[in-house]
Amino acid sequence: MIYMRIYDVVIVGAGPAGVGAALQCSINGLKLLLIEKNEIGGRIRLARRVENLLLDKSISGDDASGYLKKIVLNRGIDFIEGEVKKINSFEGRYITYTKKRAYYSKSVIVATGFVPNIPEIAGIDELYRKGRISFEWKGLKREVDSPMLVIGGGEVGCDSACSLKENGFDVIVFSRSEKLNINPILLQDVNRLGIKVINGIRYEEVFAQGNVIILNIIKNRKRYFFRGKSILITVGGRPNLSIIEGISERERLFVCGDANKDNYHQASIAFGDGINTAMRVTQILSGRPK
Ligand SMILES: Cc1cc2nc3c(=O)[nH]c(=O)nc-3n(C[C@H](O)[C@H](O)[C@H](O)COP(=O)(O)OP(=O)(O)OC[C@H]3O[C@@H](n4cnc5c(N)ncnc54)[C@H](O)[C@@H]3O)c2cc1C
């Protein structure tokens, strides 16, 4: 006889939302499996300083993701590294496929965050195809005398610019809006670190010339060219839900964290949404009314 293990819940993504969900499912005694394609921690590991956690002080993104790793480890949560390629449903069960295996469960929580947007700038698709664009500041290589061109002057762009500057990079932030729309603490850091910000611009074109990337912008009807070694794009994103496209059985399939289009993109919201989702899963699987 073939024994097939059936989990109560498979959770995809181990960022704040997935770990929050895994923690609560484990507290509630559900048989769960957490699957993550990269590191536990998700995008919060990119944050320079997280101000709004349930703590009496701000902490670094590295420390925040360290806490998430400890939750998974200390609670003995069943965790595997792997990229989920697809989720299907069949006869009341969900089947989650990684490259190596299929996992069966009664319910699924999708906590896969978002897919970054690519702004509409002439030439950007070609740079993207050539792998000349980055979406995360970590892992970028510092180049002497060549600034990092950060496209997007929101909180993620400015926070990443501060991290780059503190790591010795020369950096310029470009923003379409007339002034930076970020929280005052971050604005203070941008100013204190002397980060160059170019506001109120229109992007014209971007292209590669050998090793160098050239960004062509218009500001106050004048044309400017900026040269850099790399481009970092931080202009928001959309829910990362391709693994559940076309799935018909949705009753016990849940989406939480940044993958949920209605949420603000904050770690505590994602973590709390994970907990909330785990409570709903527990209640539905138990068959009890709320
Ligand atoms: C630079 C920066 C600074 C930030 N600063 C702050 C801050 O100060 N305060 C704050 O509250 N928030 C901050 N945030 C936002 C915060 O990081 C996010 O809101 C939060 O991480 C969302 O959690 P999540 O679990 O929903 O998604 P994510 O953190 O994106 O996690 C999703 C996880 O799913 C995994 N995954 C995706 N697809 C698959 C797949 N097919 N198979 C397996 N795994 C998959 C990903 O690898 C990832 O680990 C910042 C973000 C950035 C980038």
pLDDT at residue 66 above 70? yes
Q: Does the residue 1 lie in any domain?
A: no
Model confidence pLDDT, tens digit, residues 19-61: 999 999 999 999 999 999 999 999 999 999 999 999 999 999 9
**Domain of 177, in residue numbers:** 118-233
Q: Which atom of ligand 1 is closest in space to residue 137's alpha carbon?
A: 1
Q: Are residues 228 and 247 in the same domain?
A: no
Q: Are residues 159 and 111 in the same domain?
A: no
Q: In total, how many domains does the chain have?
A: 2
Check if the beta carbon of residue 164 is closer than 8 Å to that of residue 134: no
Q: Which atom of ligand 1 is closest in space to residue 260's alpha carbon?
A: 26
Angle between helices 184-192 and 155-166 (to 10 degrees): 30
> Residues 6 or more apart from 138 whose CB is under 8 A from it?
45, 46, 163
ipTM value, please give it.
0.99
pLDDT at residue 227 above 80? yes
**Pocket mutation for ligand 1, best pick of 10, 44, 72, 100 (most atoms within 8 Å of C-beta):** 44
Q: Are residues 245 and 140 in the same domain?
A: no
Q: Average pLDDT, whole number, for the chain? A: 96
pLDDT at 143: 77
Could you tell me how far CA 135 lies from the centroid of its own chain?
10
Average confidence (pLDDT) over 217-221 = 97
Q: Are residues 108 and 135 in the same domain?
A: no
**Pocket mutation for ligand 1, best pick of 112, 151, 243 (most atoms within 8 Å of C-beta):** 112
Closest residue (by CA) to atom 8 of ligand 1?
50
- Separation of alpha carbons 26 and 18, rounded Å: 12
Q: Are residues 259 and 227 in the same domain?
A: no
User: What is the pLDDT confidence band of residue 290, given thresholds at 50, 70 and 90?
Assistant: confident
pLDDT at residue 1 above 80? no
Average confidence (pLDDT) over 230-243 = 96
Q: Are residues 248 and 260 in the same domain?
A: yes
pLDDT at residue 99 above 90? yes
Q: Does the residue 41 lie in any domain?
A: yes
Q: Are residues 161 and 249 in the same domain?
A: no
Q: Are residues 39 and 122 in the same domain?
A: no
Q: Are residues 104 and 149 in the same domain?
A: no
pLDDT at 3: 73
Residue 271 structure tokens: 């973590």
Q: Does the residue 207 lie in any domain?
A: yes
Amino acid (1-letter code) at residue 2? I
Cα distances (Å, whole numbers) of residue 270 to 69, 111, 115, 163, 256:
16, 9, 16, 23, 7
Q: Are residues 185 and 141 in the same domain?
A: yes
The DSSP bridge partners found for residue 79 are 34
Q: Does the residue 266 lie in any domain?
A: yes
Q: Which protein residues are within 6 Å of ligand 1, measured from CB? A: 12-18, 35-38, 42-44, 46-47, 50-52, 83-84, 111-113, 156, 159-160, 240, 243, 257-259, 265-268, 270
- Separation of alpha carbons 281 and 9, rounded Å: 8
